DNA sequence: AAACTGACTGAGCGCTCAGTCAGTTTTTTT
DNA sequence: AAAAAAACTGACTGAGCGCTCAGTCAGTTT
């Protein structure tokens, strides 16, 4: 992949995440990357395909990060693994700040309504994460560290919690870091047998 | 307030919530309301002020709804009141669907960064809701139905949960209704002494 | 009957936008 | 070194945008 193409993808991720899709102009993107406007359209046939490319890249990054982190990892018990998934999600949301911010923006879900490629990639990301929560809960129920809750639904509720925390951080409403300990505590109370 | 002005406010709420700020044109708003474009600018000095008017109206509606619901209401105990706040939030998110969707959109928080009026109204809405959660938790700790948790932080975590559920619903990711019982259950487990 | 008011109109202005294209430079292949 | 392919350029276009403004009109006041 050419240097310019990479620069365009990187800068567009930040701009789309921070300013939104409609409020980011190709002109601005051109200036920021040093690439001519024509170059952007040489690499991406239009603005929407540029966004899709970012989403596909993000999917790859997120799925790979989760798989890497948990492959071969043997946790003390299921409850402990839930805590690790929560922590890792929050860690990743800091590491891949702009990609996570992008995933919370509404325009992505508007595209997903009409474009199957958007839908598939979004679903892949969400399923990957929800599956990790569910696996951890199921493991906890097998080893007795987690009580009798509905695995999938509880996984979604946990997902909702950490995602909401990231949202509060992104909107500058509250300091997510200050809530971390209480969040982990809440999870433990929620899940214990 | 003139009929046209009311129609503009109402239609703009739906459009801004569904399509975003930048993707909603005054032309579209004009066609939908039957008001000439000039009429919109007669009532609201510009697009941003129109959005602010909607936010101010939303603040009034949300705060009034919460105050009305809980004034004079005597709950069995604090834990029960937490459940009622959760339920009422979700009920209101259905009743005032577009206003709640609007509150989750990023452009509002971008305006809030530079415009104190936006910031004040957003804070008023969030503080009102978080306060109700906190009050319920404090009550529960007084009557023994809720364990020893940090009231404000736990209030924020609860808020995060219900807000996240609404977000999942808005994005058509999962059916929020199907999670309701498990959500209430999780809250109970989280809070019990 | 004259003066005034506030709600409303829609053509039109200045400007920005996504996307195009004819042409140039750089890289790879032969 | 020549030819071919890939990467890149930036001036340009037409559509659409927010917003303005001169003007209409029904109703009220003087």
What average pLDDT score do residues A107-136 get?
97
Tell me which residue in B153, B186, B191 faces A182 most closely, judged by beta carbons.
B153
CA of B28 to C1' of C17 (A): 18
CB B3 within 7 Å, strand C:
yes
pLDDT value of position A143: 96
Quote the pLDDT of residue B73: 83
Query: Is the pLDDT score of A193 beyond 80?
Result: yes
pLDDT of residue A174: 78
* Mean pLDDT value across residues A18-41: 97
A45 touches strand D (CB under 7 A): no
Q: Give residue A173's pLDDT band: very low, low, confident or very high (50, 70, 90).
A: confident
Kindly report, residue by residue over B20-44, the tens digit of the pLDDT: 999 999 999 999 999 999 999 999 9
Q: Where are the alpha helices (DSSP H) in chain A?
A: 3-19, 26-33, 37-43, 47-70, 78-95, 97-103, 106-114, 116-143, 151-170, 176-191
pLDDT band at A1 (very low <50, low <70, confident <90, very high): confident
What is the percent of chain B where pLDDT is above 90?
89
Task: Please provide the average confidence, as pLDDT, over all residues in chain A.
Answer: 95
The reported pLDDT for the residue numbered B171 is 84
Q: What is the mean pLDDT of chain B?
A: 95
- Please name the residues between 29 and 88 in chain B that touch chain A, using a CB distance below 8 Å: none
Each residue's pLDDT tens digit, B61-79: 999 999 999 887 888 999 9
Distance from CA of A2 to the nearest CA of B (A): 32
Can you state the angle between helices A78-95 and A47-70, rounded to 10 degrees? 140
* The pLDDT of residue A164 is above 80: yes
pLDDT per residue over A45-91, tens digit each?
A: 999 999 999 999 999 999 999 999 988 788 899 999 999 999 999 99
pLDDT for residue A177 is more than 90: no
| pLDDT at A93 (0 to 100) | 96
- Per CB-CB distance under 8 Å, the chain A contacts of B149 are 182, 185-186
What pLDDT, on a 0 to 100 scale, did the predictor assign at position A72? 79
| Whether pLDDT at A152 is above 80 | yes
Say whether pLDDT at B89 is over 90: yes
């Amino acid at each position: 992949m050419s240097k310019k193409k990479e620069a365009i993808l990187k800068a567009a991720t930040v701009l789309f995440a921070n300013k939104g899709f409609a409020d980011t102009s190709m002109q601005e993107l051109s200036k920021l990357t040093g690439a001519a406007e024509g170059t952007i359209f040489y690499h991406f046939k239009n603005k929407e395909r540029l966004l899709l490319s970012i989403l596909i890249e993000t999917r790859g990054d997120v799925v790979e990060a989760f798989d890497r982190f948990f492959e071969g990892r043997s946790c003390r018990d299921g409850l402990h693994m839930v805590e690790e998934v929560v922590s890792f999600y929050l860690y990743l949301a800091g590491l891949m700040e702009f990609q996570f911010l992008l995933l919370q923006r509404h325009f992505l879900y508007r595209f997903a309504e009409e474009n199957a490629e958007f839908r598939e990639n979004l679903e892949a990301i969400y399923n990957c994460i929800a599956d990790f929560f569910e696996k951890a809960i199921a493991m906890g129920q097998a080893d007795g560290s987690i009580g009798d809750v509905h695995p999938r639904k509880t996984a979604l509720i946990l997902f909702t919690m950490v995602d909401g925390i990231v949202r509060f951080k992104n909107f500058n409403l509250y300091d997510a870091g200050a809530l971390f300990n209480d969040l982990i505590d809440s999870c433990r109370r929620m899940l214990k047998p």
